[in-house]
Structure 1
Amino acid sequence: MTTEAAPANEVHLIGRVSGRPTQRTLPSGDELVQLRVVVPRPPRRGTDKRAQVDTIDVACWSARSRASALRLPDGQGVEISGALRRRFFAAGAARASRYEVGAASVRRVTLP
């Protein structure tokens, strides 16, 4: 049996801010705030029980998300909602790309 599903690009992260968010102005004049969010992975089975994390780059383009992100200190719990985006940019003489979460909303949360 096949289930119908509508296409979606939705990301929901809850983790901790790693480092200070940074603000910059792109050559186009667009303002951007970037931050990294660290999200713990579930414990693994077997003998290797070291805690592992995913470190996820987040880009804040809207005025509201930029303002919220700039108020986040290192280590703050945060909830990010948005979409996965691939961004292209110049890296010296070459073109490069990266995946990041484009934040639609940024909210402080308390984590254990």
Structure 2
Amino acid sequence: MTPHELTRYRGLPASGVRYKISSGNIGNVFAIRNATGALYVAKALDYEKIKKYELRLTASDNFKENYTTVLINVRDVNDNPPVFEKSSYRTQITEEDDRGLPKRVLRQLLLNPGLQA
């Protein structure tokens, strides 16, 4: 999975400040560029498993440190494919039946029904 940039701090690269995720990075889902502070999603997020993250970030210049907290709420999306009600269907039509009317209605079930896109 390609990392997606969440935010970037535009500090001076020559300043010697280094950034790291100190805590809250369950499953190492996020990554940070230690020279720029750019925070990325490094692995797939799963709303059904973890709905929010609270990351503690540290900035250090080898003499002093400063901390901040980043709260990330994961938004639910329909990540499940639709499923047909049955695995197979049978129907019969005659060769004269060419009116373009529906012959059978196929129904599908959505596993995340509130999130129809």
Structure 1 or 2, whichever has the larger Rg, is 2
* More strand per residue: 1
Question: Shared fold by TM > 0.5?
Answer: no
Higher RCO structure, 1 or 2 (CA under 8 Å, sep 6+): 1
Q: TM-score, normalised on structure 2?
A: 0.23
Q: TM-score, normalised on structure 1?
A: 0.23
